[in-house]
């Protein structure tokens, strides 16, 4: 029986993945950091590093569909005659948009301590329903639910003495765990994305993301069906649930697995894609918009992002 549709709402209160304080912003210069203004003992220069991350996500299924046969067709009856044309979910995977920031700056502020560090903590803001308003039972404590966001509730913050090898940076990058692939003409590659079909326009629309389903029901999106620009999710493991989705099957470990996976991908640029960066040419990764194919200045990965700064205690 199909679940009753409701308007998606955040699970309240938000669940802390790591013992953080919830949906708050931590500047790294709170009293706990030792900042006391002009009268502090330790004057600079200091190297202050901050790191934070957000992951907007939704679940999407792959279906197994019943096939019709020649016996399902006649000259007069409704078709198919005997086969029930229906499908069932084989697996629900997590599709995500990732935004990460790393900032390193030189400071001459005065502090009461020579160094200070706090870990990066997270909170889960899960919705109770999918994009169509369908619910699947109560979302478990710390579960991802049908969709939601993993937020940094406390930034990583580190302060120490500035060294000659330190460099100031302030970099933000964005990528999706899924891509639309490329087409080739000769040795040239062309991104299979457009204004109408790209990572952002299909975000949350799980009914558009299974190629076999679109082949069977092209009316869901005529352009995608005609051009066969079906997206591929590089995250097929972290957070995956097999069979029909039920919120009670969520695991607390899923959020941690995803955060560490995409955090490593932010650092090395693998398995994250940005359609706005994709360029036609002979370079296949660039045509796909793979983050690792682009420089930091172009919007590529942040090598300084470090998942060892994540704290799940």
Q: Is 3 domain-assigned?
A: no
What pLDDT is recorded for position 226?
80
User: What does the pLDDT average to over 105-114?
Assistant: 90
Answer for the pair 115, 48: CB distance below 8 angstroms, yes or no: no
Cis? peptide before 312, omega within 30° of 0: no
> What is the number of alpha carbons within 13 Å of residue 170 lying toward its C-beta?
3
Q: Is 58 domain-assigned?
A: yes
* Phi/psi of residue 306, nearest 5 degrees: -130, 115
What pLDDT is recorded for position 25?
32
Q: Is 7 domain-assigned?
A: no
Cα gap 248→92, rounded to integer Å: 14
Q: Is the pLDDT of residue 13 over 70?
A: no
Q: How many domains does the chain have?
A: 1
Give me the percent of the chain exceeding a pLDDT of 70: 88
Q: Which domain holds residue 241?
A: 15-67+87-309
Strands 87-107 and 169-176: antiparallel
Q: Is 270 domain-assigned?
A: yes
pLDDT digits (tens, 9 = 90+) for 110-156: 888 889 999 999 999 999 999 999 999 999 888 999 999 999 999 99
Answer for the pair 257, 54: CB distance below 8 angstroms, yes or no: no
What residue spans of 185-271 are helical by DSSP H?
Answer: 211-216, 222-227, 253-268
- pLDDT higher for 133 or 35? 133
Count Cβ atoms below 10 Å from residue 2 Cβ, excluding itself: 6
Q: Is 80 domain-assigned?
A: no
Answer for the pair 267, 127: CB distance below 8 angstroms, yes or no: no
Q: Is 74 domain-assigned?
A: no
* Phi/psi of residue 52, nearest 5 degrees: -150, 165
Q: Is the pLDDT of residue 14 over 50?
A: yes
Q: Is 253 domain-assigned?
A: yes
Q: Is 75 domain-assigned?
A: no
Query: In sequence order, which residues have a C-beta less than 8 Å from that of residue 69 and are 6 or more positions away?
Result: 82, 83
Answer for the pair 122, 150: CB distance below 8 angstroms, yes or no: yes
CA 309 to chain centre: 19
pTM over 0.85: yes
DSSP string, 165-195: T---EEEEEEEESEE--EEEETTEEEES--S
DSSP string, 150-164: EEEEE-EEEEEE--T
Cα gap 15→254, rounded to integer Å: 13
CA 168 to chain centre: 27
Please choose, from the candidates 292, 234, 296, the residue with its C-alpha nearest in 3D space to the C-alpha of residue 261. 234
């Amino acid at each position: 029986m199909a679940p009753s549709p409701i308007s998606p709402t955040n699970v309240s209160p938000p669940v802390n993945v790591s013992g953080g304080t919830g949906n708050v912003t931590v500047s790294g210069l709170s009293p706990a950091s030792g900042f006391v203004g002009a009268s502090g003992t330790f004057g600079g220069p200091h190297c202050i590093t901050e790191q934070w991350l957000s992951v907007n996500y939704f679940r999407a299924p792959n279906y197994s569909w019943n096939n019709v046969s020649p016996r399902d067709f006649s000259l007069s009856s409704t078709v198919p005659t005997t086969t029930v044309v229906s499908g069932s979910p084989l697996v629900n995977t997590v599709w995500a948009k990732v935004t990460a920031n790393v900032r390193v700056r030189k400071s001459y502020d005065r502090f009461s301590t020579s160094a200070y560090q706090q870990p990066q903590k997270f909170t889960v803001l899960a919705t109770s329903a999918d994009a169509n308003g369908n619910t699947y039972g109560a979302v478990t404590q710390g579960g991802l639910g049908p969709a939601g966001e993993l937020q940094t509730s406390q930034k990583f913050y580190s302060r120490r003495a500035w060294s000659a090898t330190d460099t100031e940076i302030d970099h933000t990058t964005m990528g999706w765990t899924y891509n639309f692939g490329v087409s080739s003409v000769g040795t040239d590659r062309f991104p299979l994305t457009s204004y109408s079909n790209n990572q952002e326009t299909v975000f949350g629309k799980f009914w558009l993301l299974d190629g076999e389903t679109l082949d069977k029901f092209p009316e869901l999106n005529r352009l995608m069906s005609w051009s066969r620009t079906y997206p591929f999710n590089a995250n097929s493991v972290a957070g995956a649930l097999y069979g029909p989705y039920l919120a009670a099957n969520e695991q607390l470990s899923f959020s941690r697995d995803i955060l560490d996976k995409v955090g490593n991908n932010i650092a090395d640029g693998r398995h994250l894609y940005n359609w706005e960066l994709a360029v036609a040419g002979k370079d296949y990764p660039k045509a796909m918009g793979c983050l690792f194919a682009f420089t930091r200045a172009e919007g590529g990965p942040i090598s300084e992002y470090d998942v060892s700064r994540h704290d799940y205690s």
